[in-house]
Amino acid sequence: MTPDLGDLYQEVILDHNRQPRNFGALPGANRRAEGFNPLCGDRVTVQLEMQDGVVQDIRFQGSGCAISKASASMMTESLKGRTREHAEEMFREFHRLLTGVAGAPDAAALGKLVVFGGVREFPVRVKCATLAWHTLRSALENAPDIATTE
Ligand code: ZN
């Protein structure tokens, strides 16, 4: 990892932690899942509005460390307008980026998310960074009709 990427990593994490994007409830959601990382105490709820296999809208809520929050925030930014297949591909590449399992990640597919490569230096934080993505995957696997209070 180059020092520049390390600086960028810090900057991006701090920025998204301070001002999380797409944070809050999503009234039109038809997919939802909750995730918990007991190692750190991070909790996240991901809500999706899927239409014809495309992520129309996505928001998250929860509380946790800066990395978990920044990761969820950047995930929502990266996935809006993407197909389900594309979202799953990004998850695979992101997982590869953080764990090094199954070879080198496709940087082009990851886009801005490559800054999370810095997390690899802190193995205990990998679960913080992947929590939102694991939660996303269970949300995508959910049946479309979720219970709502509306
Ligand atoms: Zn954490």
Three-class HEC string of 15-34 = HHHHCCCCECCCCCCCEEEE
Tokens read off for 41: 């105490």
Domain segments of the chain: what residues? Answer: 3-144
**Class of residue 86 by CB neighbours under 10 A (exposed 0-12, middle 13-18, buried 19+):** middle
**What is the distance in A from the centroid of ligand 1 to the CA of 70?**
10
pLDDT value of position 34: 94
**What is the distance in A from the centroid of ligand 1 to the CA of 94?**
17
**What is the distance in A from the centroid of ligand 1 to the CA of 131?**
9
pLDDT value of position 48: 96
**What is the distance in A from the centroid of ligand 1 to the CA of 73?**
14
Q: What angle do CA 51, 53, 54 make, to 5 degrees?
A: 70
**Class of residue 2 by CB neighbours under 10 A (exposed 0-12, middle 13-18, buried 19+):** exposed
pLDDT value of position 1: 44
> pLDDT per position in the chain (150 positions), as tens?
444 557 778 888 899 999 999 999 999 999 999 999 999 999 999 999 999 999 999 999 999 999 999 999 999 999 999 999 999 999 999 999 998 877 788 888 888 899 898 888 888 899 999 999 999 999 998 755 544 444
pLDDT value of position 130: 94
In angstroms, the CA 51 to CA 31 distance is: 11
The dihedral sign for the CA sequence 124, 18, 133, 111: negative
Neighbours of ion ligand 1 (CB under 5 A): 40, 42, 65, 68, 128
- In CATH terms, 3-144 corresponds, of 1.10.1040.20, 3.40.50.1980, 3.30.1120.80, 3.90.1010.10, to 3.90.1010.10
